[in-house]
């Protein structure tokens, strides 16, 4: 489902008719103060390796553009790592950046070059930009300005380093409606009308046994609800049932699952020749795809519109591997469904706030003899029935031709946990087994950690 082409159409229609109202920004690109350059410590948090001097974003409700400017001061050597980062955006997003250093009393500016921005297509009009700011060292001030069509997935007021000033302006738009969800426990300094400001926001401190900072960090999460302009209306993320439908119609999710799986015919014949029961076939299918290598990239979507080329190449992302497993199980006449979820590090799903953007992973649910088996094909040494830690994150959505349903890893029954060593293919692991009430006859969940 392509969203940004719709926004582009609206932008063209409004370009000559919509006035653009400007508000004075707290910072301006290229205007770094002497005080910022000479700063050696951030007084509210003297232990900080770096500090966000300002993070300013504005969504223009007239032309639907979002512009942000982020400025960071590096205070310690360990803070130089914040000059390399990843931004998720659409294809036509533009960037400009600069670093500033004081050398012999003179300000030395270094522009961000095009070759320092690596653009990687994730799916459709969604891209991942890897950016490395140049000439960064202790004392550097660097800034990055971004211009995109439409809102980002989220806007964080709090980060792993302190934030001196954070400001977000969200103008209302006649043409698109979106929902923002507030997370976190730190209070904003002010939130008047459509302007949100946080001053001296403390760095987020991760605590023991915390599942993911994404569940607790102070931020807004955005979801597009609908697009409406004369002669056109499209609804997107109004309910979880709408999310289910959108996934089924997505070229890199539901459509690719329904595409041909002839490339698996030989494996199917070998399994059917040696296995009798559905459980035996499912196990054999799980291990038959172990030669396909996972490229360590987690995604909700496949990297191709069909899995044959990926199978031939022998390497793919997480959903590539899991779609191949799903297609093979389906060819073996096993009832199987895709399961969309948010990984442990990405944060938990909320049943009361439908969110398409919060989903970032797909795994497989096979129904065999009235038991639900949750399967993940990414880890080469992972035995059948075990799940990697990233998949253990409470609720996830089973996607089917009806309305979908929740698959919950929590249980109302008493949990039991067993930890014991395990050897597989000359590698040693520590296995944690926990009973979870996935269904009345569900199998236990396992967590595998390599030693």
Q: 12: domain range?
A: 4-236
DSSP 262-298: GGGHHHHHHHHHH--SHHHHHHHHHHHTTTSEE-S--
Kindly tell me if the per-residue pLDDT of 417 is higher than 60: no
Rounded-to-integer distance, Cα 144 and Cα 167, Å? 15
Query: Where a domain ends, among 236, 260, 290?
Result: 236
Strand-pairing partners, residue 129, are: 87, 119
Q: What is the CATH number of the domain that holds 121?
A: 2.60.40.3140
Is the same domain home to 398 and 347?
yes
Kindly tell me if the per-residue pLDDT of 19 is higher than 90: no
Work out how many domains the chain is built from and give that number. Answer: 2
Average pLDDT score over residue span 343-354: 89
Query: Where a domain ends, among 184, 206, 236?
Result: 236
Is the same domain home to 215 and 313?
no
Kindly tell me if the per-residue pLDDT of 331 is higher than 80: yes
Is the same domain home to 98 and 226?
yes
Kindly tell me if the per-residue pLDDT of 422 is higher than 90: no
Is the same domain home to 213 and 277?
no
Q: CA angle, 399 as apex, 121 and 328 as ends, to 5°?
A: 80
Q: Model pTM?
A: 0.77
Query: Where a domain ends, among 218, 236, 254?
Result: 236
Confidence of residue 415 (pLDDT cuts 50, 70, 90): very low
Do the Cβ atoms of 274 and 340 come closer than 8 Å?
no
Do the Cβ atoms of 73 and 102 come closer than 8 Å?
no
pLDDT in tens, 189-242: 999 889 999 999 999 998 887 878 888 999 999 988 888 888 888 888 788 998
What are the b/e assignments for 375-396, b being 16+ CB within 10 Å?
Answer: bbbbbeebbebbbbebbbbeeb
Is the same domain home to 284 and 330?
yes
Is the same domain home to 301 and 427?
yes
Average pLDDT score over residue span 18-26: 59
Is the same domain home to 268 and 360?
yes
Confidence of residue 425 (pLDDT cuts 50, 70, 90): low
Query: Of 179, 149, 190, 164, nearest to 67 (Cα)?
Result: 149
Is the same domain home to 223 and 247?
no
Is the same domain home to 372 and 245?
yes
Kindly tell me if the per-residue pLDDT of 60 is higher than 50: yes
**What's the gap between Cα 195 and its chain centre?**
26
Phi, psi of 288 (to 5 degrees): -65, -25
Q: Are strands 315-316 and 293-294 parallel, antiparallel or unpaired?
A: parallel
By the 10 Å C-beta count (0-12 exposed, 13-18 middle, 19+ buried), 322 is classed as: buried
Residues in the chain, overall count = 451
pLDDT in tens, 151-189: 999 999 999 999 999 999 999 999 899 999 999 999 999
Is the same domain home to 441 and 329?
yes
The two tokens of residue 249 are 């119609």
Q: What is the DSSP letter of 351?
A: T
pLDDT value, residue 447 = 55
pLDDT in tens, 355-377: 888 899 999 999 999 999 999 99
**Helix orientation angle between 265-274 and 318-331, rounded to the nearest 10 degrees:** 50
Rounded-to-integer distance, Cα 149 and Cα 179, Å? 17
The two tokens of residue 12 are 């063209």
Is the same domain home to 305 and 266?
yes
Is the same domain home to 37 and 164?
yes
């Amino acid at each position: 489902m392509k969203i940004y082409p719709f926004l582009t159409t609206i932008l063209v229609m409004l370009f000559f008719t919509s006035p653009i109202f400007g508000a004075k920004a707290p910072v301006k690109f290229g205007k770094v103060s002497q005080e910022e350059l000479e700063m050696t410590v951030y007084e509210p948090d003297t232990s900080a390796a770096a500090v966000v001097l300002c993070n300013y974003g504005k969504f223009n409700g007239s032309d639907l553009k979002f512009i942000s400017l982020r400025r960071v001061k590096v205070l310690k050597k360990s803070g130089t790592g914040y000059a390399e980062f990843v931004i998720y955006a659409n294809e036509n997003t533009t960037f400009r950046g600069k670093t500033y250093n004081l050398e012999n009393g003179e300000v030395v500016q270094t522009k961000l070059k095009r070759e320092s921005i690596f653009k990687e297509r994730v799916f459709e009009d969604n891209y991942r930009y890897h950016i490395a700011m140049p000439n960064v060292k202790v004392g550097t001030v660097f800034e990055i300005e971004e211009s995109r069509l439409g809102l980002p997935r989220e806007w964080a007021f709090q980060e792993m380093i302190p934030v001196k000033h954070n400001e977000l302006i969200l103008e209302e738009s006649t043409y698109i409606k979106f929902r923002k969800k507030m997370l976190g426990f730190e209070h904003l300094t002010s939130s008047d009308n459509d302007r949100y400001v946080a001053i001296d926001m403390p760095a987020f401190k991760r605590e023991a046994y915390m599942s993911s900072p994404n569940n607790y960090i102070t931020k807004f999460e955005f979801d597009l609800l609908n697009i409406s302009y004369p002669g056109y209306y499209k609804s997107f993320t109004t309910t979880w049932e709408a999310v289910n439908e959108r996934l089924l119609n997505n070229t890199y999710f539901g459509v690719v699952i329904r595409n041909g799986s002839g490339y698996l015919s030989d494996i199917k014949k070998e399994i059917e020749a040696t296995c009798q029961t559905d459980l035996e076939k499912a196990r054999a299918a799980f291990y038959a795809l172990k030669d396909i290598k996972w490229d360590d990239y987690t995604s909700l979507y496949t990297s191709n519109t069909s899995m044959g080329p990926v199978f031939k190449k022998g390497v793919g992302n997480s959903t590539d591997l899991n779609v191949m497993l799903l297609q093979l199980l389906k060819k073996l006449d096993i009832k199987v469904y895709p399961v969309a979820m948010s990984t442990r590090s990405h944060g938990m799903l909320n049943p009361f706030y439908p969110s398409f953007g919060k989903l970032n992973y797909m795994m497989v649910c096979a129904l065999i003899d009235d038991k639900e088996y949750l399967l993940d094909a990414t880890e080469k040494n992972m035995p059948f029935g075990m799940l990697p830690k990233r998949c253990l994150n409470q609720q996830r959505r089973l996607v089917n031709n009806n309305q979908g349903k929740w698959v919950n890893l929590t249980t109302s029954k008493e949990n039991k946990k067993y930890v014991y060593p395990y050897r597989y293919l000359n590698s040693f692991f520590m296995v944690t087994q926990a009973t979870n009430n996935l269904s009345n006859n569900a199998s236990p969940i396992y967590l595998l950690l390599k030693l």
